[in-house]
Amino acid sequence: MNYFHKDGRGLNLTLARGLAAYLNSSLVDAFFRLFNGHTQVNATDLRNLKYPTIAQLMTVGLYITEHFPSQKEIDQLVQEELLSMSNQSENNPVIIKTRIDEALQILIELGLPQAQLNERSALTLLAFLDLKPTVPWEAAASPLMGIAPMTEFMAQHYGKIYKTNREGIRKYTVHQFLDAGLIIMNPDAPDRPTTSPKTVYRIEESALELLRTYETNEWKKSISTYLYSVDTLKKRYAQERELSRIPIVIEGKLKTLSPGGQNILIEKIINEFAERFTPGGKLIYVGDTEEKFAYFNKVALKDLGVTIDSHGKMPDVIIHYLKNDWLVLIEAVTSHGPINPKRKTELEVIFADLKIPIVMVITFLSRKAMVEYLADIAWETDVWVAEDSTHLIHFNGEYLLQAYKVDRDFETK
């Protein structure tokens, strides 16, 4: 139980009635829920609330006699007597709630799905616009926003703290904003991998211009025009994103990988490593950072004695090297580590029923990238560096001290 007191003694009865009415108002309830994420009210929460002056609370208390007013009567009293307090303050709960309600109404008029018509989505929209509670809609901006800065904005300006649910914002709001064409991803670097921790978003330019007209005479006309053209806008950005994808050819058919990061290396594995070290080999699996896999020939793998239902722990590329009858498992190392002893054992378990020998290859874009992971590379594996594409490094005792020949008229073999 929490209680209010004055120097350890009870409050004036009229003041206590006014305070009780204020704390029971729908306004305080709505504001309290912005920052309170648990099932109980503690003293710190109550101290952090913004209160009217004693005089204002006394004024409300004078209206309350023997019978406590109904919810409707309480809300009317608060509306009439207390809204003069710090009306232009960013911390004013009325202003905060009003702004969130405005953002929610915009999402409704934009036709977003019911699952996105909630406080979380409204706050996300306000973060994308850098729109603080007292800033007019016409001053909406378009900063680059990652998920973490977004949640910091919500906490600082709207009192809503998302410490453990950032992924929920990304999964259940940001992705849907992308699908609706309301925001664009990585406009500063379109080839940045979608899984990169540096991924950022920005409000789409036409949407920004639309939202700046909210609460003006132009709003109805602007939103009608915007909704008419939004499908065309979504197609345009989809085409721009498609142009950034990485083309590869598998069994004579052109496929594309999502842009950036690991897939740049996967393209080099297919077009350079495979042609040089497994010529005539049969591609069985090609991973994709965005779509999990770009190609998977389950039948070919099953014919070799292995059935895999989930591709979550698959290597990035699998090639059946027909000439030697080897299955070559290739990991592309960019943001994740190489085949270390633990991963090597894991792959051996996954492919335990294989009828042919396994060769494990770890690939890097550069020697510098390889040096970062040198201590983690498992023995009995091979390493390929894309910038030195004609050579392999053998972490394999079987090849230790192997002689090599030098053709003085040509190149090292």
Q: Quick one: 246-399 is in which CATH superfamily?
A: BsuBI/PstI restriction endonuclease, C-terminal domain (3.40.1350.80)
C-alpha distances in angstroms, 319 versus 164, 379, 402? 41, 20, 26
Numbered ranges of CATH 1.10.10.1820 in the chain: 93-243
Tell me the CATH number for domain 93-243: 1.10.10.1820
How far is Cα 306 from Cα 303, in angstroms, rounded to an integer? 7
Name the burial class of residue 103, with classes exposed (0-12), middle (13-18) and buried (19+) by CB atoms within 10 angstroms of its CB.
buried
Residues 357-407 pLDDT 10s: 899 999 998 888 888 888 889 888 999 998 888 988 888 755 544 444 445
Judged by DSSP in three states, 100 sits in helix
Query: So what's the pLDDT on residue 259?
Result: 58
Query: So what's the pLDDT on residue 35?
Result: 61
Query: So what's the pLDDT on residue 69?
Result: 87
Residues 267-326 pLDDT 10s: 888 888 988 999 988 988 887 765 666 778 888 888 888 887 654 578 888 999 999 999
* Section 164-182 average pLDDT: 84
- Least confident range of 105-114, 125-134, 159-168, 212-221: 159-168
Per-residue pLDDT band for 47 (boundaries 50, 70, 90) equals: confident
Assess whether pLDDT exceeds 70 at residue 177. Answer: yes
C-alpha distances in angstroms, 328 versus 221, 273, 288, 337? 60, 11, 18, 18
Numbered ranges of CATH 3.40.1350.80 in the chain: 246-399
Query: So what's the pLDDT on residue 27?
Result: 77
Per-residue pLDDT band for 104 (boundaries 50, 70, 90) equals: very high
How far is Cα 12 from Cα 226, in angstroms, rounded to an integer? 57
Cβ atoms of 80 and 109 within 8 Å: the answer is: no
